Amino acid sequence: MSNEKVKIAVFVSGGGTNLQALIDKQKSGVITSGEIKLVVSNNPNAFALERAAKADIKTAVVSRKECGTQLEFEDKLIALLEENGIELIVLAGFMCILSEHFTAKYPKRIINVHPSLIPSFCGKGFYGLKVHEAALAYGVKVTGATVHFVNEIPDGGEIIMQKAVEIEDGDTPEVLQKRVMVNAEWIILPQAVEKVSRGLLERTTVDNVR
């Protein structure tokens, strides 16, 4: 197999804790088949951009507000990805829904982490603390995180990995959010990125042999 690595772009909107987990796991050798080449944010003030800059990763901002339409926004993202030769996209707290115009262009090449065990507490309107609020309100005893491929249906793509996290007495949404991040998201997102990157490399090798 060649020494080439899959070129990865990470899409972010906020603090970038999942991005940091990916950067750390790339440094520690959990992610070896891919390399983060670009971090893209829809929010110019996202702290995730500072995390990327500190790790010497190229950054870009594409503001949905400054684009007249969703189509224009997605076309700008596509142009940016093509310019940088990106082969895999990781959504790490990216607060913009992507339409079929975008997702159909990258089948099984966009992955997302969601803070519940899909199909529970997922889909339109379930993001951030709202997911954990819903889990606690429903009274489930186990929650967790899911990494899945992204298609045009919010949280609707094929599941790649899941990890369960127990809910404890007295949990608040904030406490639960942190536990799910530490014990599930930050573990399975890098593992899934490595798994998908390795699969893409193997596919490329097979195609080259043909």
Residues in the chain, how many?
210
User: Residue by residue, what is the 3-state secondary structure of 45-87?
Assistant: CCHHHHHHHHCCCEEEECCCCCCCCHHHHHHHHHHHHHHCCCC
pLDDT reported for residue 36: 98
Residue 25 near residue 18 (C-beta atoms within 8 A)? no
Determine the 3-state secondary structure of 144 from DSSP: strand
Cβ neighbour number for residue 150 with a 10 Å cutoff = 24
pLDDT given for residue 87 in this prediction? 97
The pair of three-digit structure tokens given for residue 92, joined into one six-digit string: 């790490």
Q: What share of the chain is helix, strand, coil (3-state, %, to 5)?
A: 40, 20, 40
At 2 the pLDDT is 47
Active site residue: 101, 114, 132, 148, which one? 114
For residue 114, indicate whether it is catalytic.
yes
Residues of the chain falling short of pLDDT 70: 1-3, 205-210
Domains annotated on the chain, with CATH:
6-209 (3.40.50.170)
